[in-house]
Amino acid sequence: MTPKSASQQQSPLDAAYRYLSYRPRSEFEMRVWLGRKGFGRPMIESTLLTLKGKGLLDDAAFARFWRESRESSSPRSRAALRSELRRKGIDPDVVAEALDGVDEEAAAYRAAQKKAARLATDDHDDFRTRLSAVLRRRGFSYEVTEHTVNRLWQESVKNA
């Protein structure tokens, strides 16, 4: 291998390391990103193999990371999480495994708690409309939304 070809091979790897420094990535995300950076298909595939070999590119681990991240910072419904992971190129079987055990009721409650605390209203209809909109945007079903809104309304009435 000549020095020039070694430096060409290192370039996409260095770029990939920088891209991974912010957060884990799916294989699909990495492939698309390296392609946008102008690297050729053989270099991309070689880089992906190297990253997978080092354990830095693992779609199953990425899917678990994504779920945990969403659960702690911005809870979503199972359907919304599934959609996000599919857009990131994760295989449907891996997505199903990663989302196994998602508690939508608890996620909806966490998603709505902060907003409910900020709603300074004594009007049940206004409370319901505004909080329902938050939950529906995050992909929660009508049933889960209604149950969560009613639960939070009861808690706000008790605390008032």
CA distance 157 to 140: 24
Delineate the domains of the chain, giving CATH numbers in brackets: 3-57 (1.10.10), 60-99 (no CATH), 104-159 (no CATH)
Helix, strand counts (H, E) of the chain: 9, 0
Q: Quick one: pLDDT at residue 4?
A: 44
Q: Note the pTM of the prediction, 2 decimals.
A: 0.84
Largest CA distance in the chain: 75
Cβ neighbours for 24, distance < 8 A, ≥ 6 positions apart: 61, 62, 65
What digits encode the pLDDT tens for the residues 21-71? 999 999 999 999 999 999 999 999 999 999 999 999 999 999 999 999 999
**Helix, strand, or coil (residue 109):** helix
pLDDT of residue 3: 41
In the block, residue with structure tokens 């370039």: 11
Over residues 155-160, the mean pLDDT reads: 73
